[in-house]
Structure 1
């Protein structure tokens, strides 16, 4: 081959190699044409990260309540009568300053809070109450249930712990299937033994107890023999077991807050108990429950059990 021809071909080869190298570098460093876009860490550089949405909103815009006689304000205003206007959860009374009023204001609570609790309800009734509540699309559901599961005709008639758990889990599933992002506040079951020890000082209260209020704990209230003591301790232990279930089930749901046992630990005095039955919360007692609920809902971190 002629020497000049070989030299020209050699320069052409070098030029081709240089061109390919430049294009290859451009393909790695620039986005365009058929070049792949950067991904992963490289894609995030140079642009701000969006703020994460908090799992728990301390100012929900609507509230629904489910549960039993306590949430209905039973015996707070008149004997053997519901008084929902003083309910700790959704009541309108200024003397209580309910959870809904504290969160939404009085006008907001009137428009965007609903009380589906039923006097006498047990945990087995909670799934149906929850099904009614979810139709309102509440941002927060307040739960207080379990006292009636322990308040039975006898200790043997108390709801088994396994059944209590299954019913509460079903209620939570009912909520989650309809409203996966709704928040839940769960109040612990009050200390029924303490309520007995406070109320037994009232002759009127003990007469009302004979009408059938919590026989397992309040029956034969002045008896202090071994059998009566064992009966009351059995009820007290069952309440503690229920509260453990509430804490455990709630802990599995990232949008559920248990009160950490605050309602159970609250030392209801005579001023916080109904002047008719000395067992259910009075108007003042309802206000104390509202304080506990509001403190739990608005805290930056959930309370520890």
Structure 2
């Protein structure tokens, strides 16, 4: 059965952390919301917003970004409240990397706590009938794998204490370090499973990416050279392309002659 198409929203918002804020995608340690995979307006990224704009001109200028660098699942409900107050009809959610990227394993957000926080945020959005796209958290162990032989990347990770649970002692292949990285990866997978379950519980108004972001085979070419952690503009574009096709079957506005967004 073909899913019923949805009218293009007139207001959308990005919720989440530094990834959705476009952190380090255009400069040194700054949020670059114009290059956000979700609500950005940079042509080269071709975000969800620009893809929606191509088929529904009424959304023009109504691309909000409430994602904040450093946010964890604890901050999601407050962001959702801002989206509802702004009358967003569609939001994207990508949250959880910072729940796992902490100073030590014992400080990682428990899985049950992560789920409860996501449920709380979705409960804020549900009464307003907000359409939700939930993206999986990227596989941060892949970042270690593709960068562990790069001296510059390892220097950034060490000096900046970037995601210590995964990236500390990046050159080590000791069993204890391998085991630590595997446990952190498993925690991210558990978060993703709970996001999928929470999205399913929300009902047909939520679409999960099916693990597409977690499984994406990104390379260092997708990673910002400002910190060797966040997506650069190419990485943001890959996120937009990978996720949008997993989302809602939006109805084209009859006033525009643009091709269907899902074909892009």
Alignment TM-score, normalising by the size of structure 1: 0.76
2:236 to 269, 273, 286: 286
Residue 73 of structure 1 corresponds to 22
Residue 218 of structure 2 corresponds to 268
- Distance, in Å, in 1 between the alignment partners of 2:156 and 2:57 is 37
Q: 1:55 to 1:62 in 2, by over 3 A?
A: farther
Q: Does 1:125 align with 2:75?
A: yes
Residue 260 of structure 2 corresponds to none
Q: Which moved more, 1:243-252 or 1:287-296?
A: 287-296
Whether contact under 8 Å (2:90, 2:130) holds in the other structure is yes
Whether contact under 8 Å (2:73, 2:117) holds in the other structure is yes
Q: 1:267 to 1:109 in 2, by over 3 A?
A: farther
Shift of 1:103: 0.4
Q: 1:278 to 1:76 in 2, by over 3 A?
A: same
- Distance, in Å, in 2 between the alignment partners of 1:271 and 1:147 is 20
Q: Does 1:227 align with 2:227?
A: no
Q: Helix, strand or coil for the counterpart of 1:90?
A: coil
Whether contact under 8 Å (1:193, 1:232) holds in the other structure is yes
Q: 1:108 to 1:78 in 2, by over 3 A?
A: farther
Segments of structure 1 that go 5 or more residues without pairing to the other structure are 1-53, 301-305
- Distance, in Å, in 2 between the alignment partners of 1:157 and 1:226 is 21
- Distance, in Å, in 2 between the alignment partners of 1:56 and 1:163 is 34
- Distance, in Å, in 1 between the alignment partners of 2:18 and 2:110 is 21
Higher RCO, Cα 8 Å, sep 6+: 2
User: What is the root-mean-square deviation in Å for CA atoms of aligned residues?
Assistant: 1.8
Q: Deviations over 1:256-299 (max 9, x none)?
A: 00000000000111211112222211110100111122212244
1:193 to 138, 141, 159: 141
Shift of 1:235: 0.3
Shift of 1:58: 6.1
Shift of 1:204: 2.0
Q: 1:234 to 1:58 in 2, by over 3 A?
A: farther
Segments of structure 2 that go 5 or more residues without pairing to the other structure are 251-264
Query: What aligned pairs does 1:70-219 form with structure 2 within 5 A after superposition?
Result: 70-105=19-54, 111-177=61-127, 179=128, 181-210=129-158, 211-219=160-168
- Distance, in Å, in 1 between the alignment partners of 2:198 and 2:59 is 28
